[in-house]
Structure 1
Amino acid sequence: MDRHAHDIAVGETYGSRDRGLSAKTRYAVVAHAYREAAMRLGELPSTVQAVTWVVRTEGIAGTATRPKNR
Structure 2
Amino acid sequence: MADPKNEHAVVIDRHAHDIAVREIYGQRDRGLGAAGRYNVLADCYRAAAKEIGEIPSKVQAVTWVAHIERK
- Spell out the pairing of 1:25-36 with structure 2 (5 A cutoff): 25-36=36-47
Q: Which amino acid aligns with 2:35?
A: K
**Bigger relative contact order (CA 8 A; separation at least 6):** 2
Q: Which contiguous aligned blocks of 4+ residues in structure 1 show a shift greater than 4 angstroms?
A: none
Identity within the alignment, %: 63
Q: Is the counterpart of residue 47 in structure 1 residue 58 in structure 2?
A: yes
- Give how far 1:59 is off: 1.1
The TM-score, its normalising length taken from structure 1, stands at 0.83
RMSD: 0.5
Deviation string, structure 1 residues 40-70 (Cα, Å, up to 9, x no partner) = 011110000000010111111xxxxxxxxxx
1:58 to 38, 44, 69: 69
Pick the structure with greater CA Rg: 1
Q: So what's the TM-score if we normalise by structure 2?
A: 0.82
2: CA distance between counterparts of 1:14 and 1:55? Answer: 17
Q: Give 3-state SS (helix, strand or coil) of 1:16's partner.
A: coil
Aligned to 1:65: none
User: Which segments of 5 or more consecutive residues in structure 2 lack a partner in the other structure?
Assistant: 1-11
